[in-house]
Amino acid sequence: MFTIDNNIEERDVQPIIRLALENFADLANKVVRPSSSTGFLCKAILSAEIGAYLQDILTGYYGNLGGSIIVARNLEANILGFTLGMESSSADHCGISYAAVQKDSRKQGILRAMLHPFQQRYQTIDLSCHPKTVSIYQALGFRPYGRQAVQIAMRWGAPKPQGIMPTINVESFESVRVAHATAYRDVPQKDWNSLVNARDTRIREIMKFLGGQLPIQHLSITD
């Protein structure tokens, strides 16, 4: 059993971030392996970004950017899943920035239930996802239309041009600056080279997949 709501409190922020970090290899728009030497850097960026958007939703700290959060809870009110969305400059269009469901709570309709409020509110919803989760979003009515870095861009609803999504630049955050400095100091060059090779391989795989779905002239490519 689970419930869906959009009323988070400060006490919900860390459980949401923890859930995101448990799934960081799938959520990050980078090729990353959970056990890799650069994983901590991706985690620092992901944690800072989600934390900032949640603070803006709670307090308007960054100017009320138009973010919204839907969470799934169990009967004890613990977080089972979350979906973080951002309204674009077009009021009938939004993007899903991040979505995750606890591993032992999957295949219960939680993601579908969390997306439903967005589908009721907006005509068009965009997101990008790890290639292995494409089929999950396809089952929820999303269709691939391009590549966004090393993820597959997908859209639900009316095929219309994207509006501009507000963003928070977390590169200047202390936690992110420290993680960058540590990574550049301690991560061996061979590991950086491995990431570049893995990125190139992922992009080739994505383009091969998309080439079987859409004519190349209709693809949207963003790096």
| CA 162 – CA 87 distance, rounded (Å) | 11
Indicate the residue type of 222: T
What is the Cβ-side half-sphere exposure of residue 146, based on CA atoms within 13 angstroms? Answer: 15
- List, for residues 56-108, the tens digit of each pLDDT value: 999 999 999 999 999 999 999 999 999 999 998 888 899 999 999 999 999 99
Q: Of 71, 135, 72, 65, give the one whose Cα is nearest residue 94.
A: 65
Q: What is the distance, to the nearest Å, from the Cα of residue 152 to the centroid of all Cα atoms in its chain?
A: 11
Who has greater pLDDT, 160 or 73?
A: 73
CA 112 to chain CA mean position, Å: 16
pLDDT given for residue 218 in this prediction? 54
pLDDT band at 214 (very low <50, low <70, confident <90, very high): low
Whether pTM > 0.85 for this model: the answer is yes
**175 and 48 in contact (C-beta within 8 Å)?**
yes
Q: What three-state secondary structure class fits 81?
A: strand
Residue-averaged pLDDT of the chain: 92
What are the tens digits of pLDDT across the range 15-58? Answer: 999 999 999 999 999 888 777 888 999 999 999 999 999 999 99
Please tell me the predicted confidence (pLDDT) of residue 211: 83
Q: What average pLDDT does the segment 139-152 reach? A: 94
Residues 95-115 as b or e (16 or more Cβ within 10 Å = b): bbbbbbbbeeeeeeebbebbb
Is residue 217 predicted with pLDDT exceeding 60?
no
In the prediction, which pLDDT does 215 show? 57
Superfamily grouping for domain 3-222: Gcn5-related N-acetyltransferase (GNAT) (3.40.630.30)
- Check: CB of residue 29 under 8 Å from CB of residue 148: yes
